[in-house]
Chain A
Amino acid sequence: DAKTTQPTSMDCAEGRAANLPCNHSTISGNEYVYWYRQIHSQGPQYIIHGLKNNETNEMASLIITEDRKSSTLILPHATLRDTAVYYCIVRVLWAPYNQGGKLIFGQGTELSVKP
């Protein structure tokens, strides 16, 4: 699975859009970009994933550059409850049998939403 690079921390004002970048310059053609978040010591929570097209769901939008070497997770109107560590993970959708569906977490970005 390709490695990802994320800023260690970011701040965002409540009500504003939070844009969290992720670099994955060694991504392969069959690898997807996934985002999870972890609110203090709770279990990680799936947010969104995509291959090359931009994706949007009720939680967030995912923008992937045309060369797929980087992506941005957008929380359109951040609230205090969005304060969390956000993990960008790159992995294949169909893994070999003995590799299963494991997630490899990096250090993530600690997002602080401030009033």
Chain B
Amino acid sequence: EVQLVESGGGSVQPGRSLKLSCAASGFTFGNYAMHWIRQAPTKGLEWVASISPSAGGTYYRDSVKGRFTVSRHNAENTLYLQMDSLRSEDTATYYCATHDYIGFAFWGQGTLVTFSS
């Protein structure tokens, strides 16, 4: 059974950093591109970043370029999202998801990032 378990969310001050993790199991992690997708409270879905299976390619939406870094450790079946210079508009539940022919095929349960003053 495919499982994706995100962790690392929490309350953070604007301008600070946070690193999210996504632990994968139940499939050959290193064979799949992986994505981070976020959902602001009561809002829709927004793709954030992607990484190729070998980590040779990374892709970001413009609003997070230069601030967020996606990476993966295939030997440990783990996906990461390093978020620096956080802004209040980054408040959201962050999901990791696999990618195959049906699109974003499997999603984790999400980890919530909020801001404190």
B and A form one assembly:
no
